[in-house]
C-alpha cells in the first residue's frame, strides 16, 4: 500500500478523496496531514493550489497532495472562486444565495496538486457545471457548505442529495481530478519500476 500525505484540515475533503482513490486504485491511500499554510489571495485556484503545494513541500520535504477549489458564479465573473471559504465566512450562505438569485449558473472547480520536489509538480483539474438553488436539499456538512445548494448538470438533485443515494461520484469535480491523478500516478509508478 502506497500512502501519500494529503494536506488539509477538512475532514470532508479527506473522506471524498479517500473514497475516490480506494475505488480507482486500491493499492493507493492518503493520510490526512494538517499544516497551517499561508494562502495567497487570488481568484485563480491553480495559482493558490500550486503556492500551497510548494509551502507544504517546504515543510514536509516529501511527496504530497494539496488541493484548492471553489464555487464560481457565472454571473459574477466566476466570483467567489478560490475565495469561496472566505466569502462564506464573511457573508454566509445567505449572501452567496443572494448573488446567485439573478443568475444561478455556477461551477465547482478544483486543482489537485502532486508535488515531489522543489519545482517538480503536476496539476490535475476537475470541474462540475450546474446551478445554485435557493433552498437547501440534502444533509448539510459544515465543511462542505455549498453541496445542498448545488444541482449539477444532468441531475435534478443537489450534490448533497446525490451523496445520500450514492449517485454523486459521476458529478464530482474532485473525483475527476483524483481520477486524472490516479491514472498519471499509476503510469509514473509503472515506468519507474520497469
Catalytic residue ranges: 68
What is the Cα Rg of the chain in Å? 17
Q: 157 in helix, strand or coil?
A: coil
Q: What is the 3-state secondary structure (H, E, C) of 56-124?
A: HHHHHCCCEEEEEEEEEEHHHCCEEECCHHHHHHHHHHHHHHHHHHHCCEEEEEEEEEEEEECCEEEEE
Burial class of 85 by CB neighbour count within 10 A (0 to 12, 13 to 18, 19+): middle
Amino acid at each position: 500500500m502506497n500512502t501519500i500525505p494529503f494536506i488539509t484540515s477538512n475532514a470532508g475533503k479527506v473522506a471524498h478523496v479517500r473514497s475516490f482513490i480506494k475505488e480507482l486504485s486500491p493499492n493507493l491511500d492518503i493520510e490526512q496531514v494538517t499544516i497551517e499554510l499561508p494562502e495567497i489571495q487570488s481568484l485563480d485556484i491553480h495559482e493558490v493550489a500550486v503556492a500551497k503545494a510548494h509551502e507544504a513541500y517546504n515543510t514536509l520535504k516529501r511527496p504530497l497532495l494539496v488541493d484548492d477549489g471553489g464555487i464560481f458564479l457565472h454571473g459574477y465573473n466566476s466570483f467567489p472562486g478560490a475565495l469561496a471559504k472566505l466569502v462564506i465566512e464573511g457573508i454566509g450562505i445567505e449572501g452567496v444565495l443572494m448573488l446567485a438569485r439573478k443568475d444561478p449558473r455556477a461551477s465547482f472547480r478544483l486543482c489537485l496538486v502532486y508535488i515531489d520536489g522543489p519545482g517538480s509538480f503536476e496539476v490535475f483539474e476537475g470541474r462540475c457545471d450546474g446551478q445554485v438553488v435557493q433552498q437547501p436539499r440534502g444533509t448539510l456538512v459544515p465543511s462542505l457548505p455549498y453541496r445542498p445548494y448545488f444541482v449539477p448538470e444532468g441531475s435534478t438533485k443537489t450534490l448533497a442529495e446525490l451523496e445520500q443515494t450514492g449517485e454523486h461520484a459521476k458529478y464530482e469535480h474532485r473525483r475527476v481530478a483524483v481520477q486524472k491523478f490516479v491514472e498519471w500516478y499509476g503510469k509514473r509508478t509503472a515506468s519507474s519500476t520497469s
